[in-house]
Amino acid sequence: MMKTVSTIAMAGLMALAMSGASQAQEQTMRKVTSGKPAALQGAMTQAQARKACQTEMRGARESKASLRTKMKLCVDQKMQGNS
C-alpha cells in the first residue's frame, strides 16, 4: 500500500515538473518568434523576378536548356534579394 502511494505521488510530482518545463520552453519560443520577420532587402515576388530575368536574358544565343537553368537561378536569386 505504501509503495503504491509513493509511486503515485512520485508520478504526480514528475508530471508537475514536466508541465512547468514545457511551459517555460513555450514562453521562450514565444519570445523568440514574436515580432516582425526580418525584411529581405531588395527581394522580389516571383513574377517581378521572372520579368527582370527575362529582360536581362533577352537576345541571348544559347540553348533552351541552358537558358532555362540560368533563368531558374536568376529568379531564385532575385526572390532572395541577391543582385
C-alpha cell at 47: 513574377
Distance CA 78, CA 47 (A): 10
Alpha helices in the chain (DSSP H): 2-33, 46-57, 64-79
Question: How many CB atoms sit inside 10 A of residue 18's CB?
Answer: 10
pLDDT digits (tens, 9 = 90+) for 22-40: 777 787 777 767 766 656 6
Look at residue 13 in the predicted model and tell me its pLDDT: 62
Per-residue pLDDT, 16:
59
Q: What is the pLDDT of residues 41-53, one digit of tens each?
A: 778 899 999 999 9
Q: Does residue 75 have a pLDDT over 80? A: yes
- Joined together, the cell numbers standing for residue 67 give 537558358
Measured from the Cβ of residue 52, the count of other Cβ atoms closer than 10 Å reads 15
